[in-house]
Amino acid sequence: MNRDAGGLRVERSSPFIQLQDAGRFGVRHLGVSQSGALDWISMYWANWLLGNALDAVVVEITLGNFDLRCEQDGCLALAGADLGATLDGEPLQPWRTFGVRRGQQLRFAQPRLGARAYLAAPGGFSASAVLGSCSSMAREQLGGLHGDGKPLAMGDHLQWMQSVAAPRPMDARLIPQFTPSPRLELVMGAQIGDFSGQSLFDVFNSAWKIDTRADRMGMRILGPRLQARRSTTISEGIPLGAVQVPPDGQPIILLNDRQTIGGYPRLGALTPQAVARLAQCLPGEELQLAPVLQETAQESHLQFLEQWRHD
């Protein structure tokens, strides 16, 4: 693959801007994290807008501060957060496709609504798969544009896989709403009984604030101190969205770049939709947790996926 020419050239970037797809599966027994787009719903829509496979490689743009120069004409799509995107100074709104011409500059400034935007190109961006995925994972030095897990950097060239797109509009009624103080559903786990009655009341009847200690590995939330009968347990596998409670009593919601095993007691795990919504929350924002039965969550998730299966 020729890395010296591409559809887009990176002119400004940050450690928070990476290539991502749906992530790696079937490798956690090797100690390899899942990785993949944090807001998988926005990734799906960005790809859907161009007629791509829903899990095609996209650019996950976290918090903005990202500039690109177009090196060929084409059609791109943007979904997720409003990061003040512009094309040659003209505002670009998310949840739609847009044409680009050679020489134009695409810029992402600062968050206006949400935290992460997803940029898609025809057929997805070109990168070599490592263990079944192109997703960047810096800690494990896997995936990304050069196969070493590093984020996109100034001077990188991004090519897309197809020369022609199949753009289509998105029904405005389907656009996710990043409303304040989201209510995130939590499937209660087997260790829920280890927590005191007061702690369980506090979990679901308090406003939790996202700490500044938040990244792709996990987000700490601040609120009432939770107490469990045991401060640690035997280490076991950790699912996406697991809510673990360390000795300080402040929960940590584990995300795509989480460790594969852990021994802190857990309240349960967020649903996939709740994880995607959490990915659009900024430090300082508040959220609430709501209990949901596993069977109800599974049924809701399958119904949610139907909106893409019928296209």
Domain limits, the chain: 8-174, 183-309
Q: What is the pLDDT of residue 310?
A: 64
183-203 burial string, b = 16+ CB within 10 Å, else e? ebbbbbbebbebbeeebbebb
Q: What is the dihedral of CA 130, 136, 139, 141, to 10 degrees?
A: 40
Instruction: Name the class of domain 183-309.
Output: mainly beta
Q: How big is the chain by its Cα radius of gyration, in Å?
A: 20
Entry pTM: 0.96
Contact 67, 1 (CB under 8 A): no
Nearest to 297 by CA among 272, 275, 268, 266: 272
In the chain (311 residues long), the average pLDDT of successive 10-residue segments reads 66 97 93 95 98 97 98 97 98 97 97 98 96 94 95 97 92 95 95 94 97 95 94 85 96 96 93 98 97 96 89 60
Q: What is the pLDDT of residue 4?
A: 42
Q: CB within 8 A of 271, min separation 6: which ones? A: 184, 185, 186, 187, 241, 292, 297, 300, 301
Which residue, among 3, 133, 131, 155, has the nearest Cα to 58 in the 3D structure?
A: 133
Between CA 209 and CA 216, with CA 211 as vertex, the angle to 5 degrees is 115
Write down the pLDDT at residue 311: 60
Q: What is the pLDDT of residue 6?
A: 60
SS3 (DSSP) at 30: helix
What pLDDT is stored for residue 163 in this prediction? 87
What is the model's pLDDT at position 230? 79
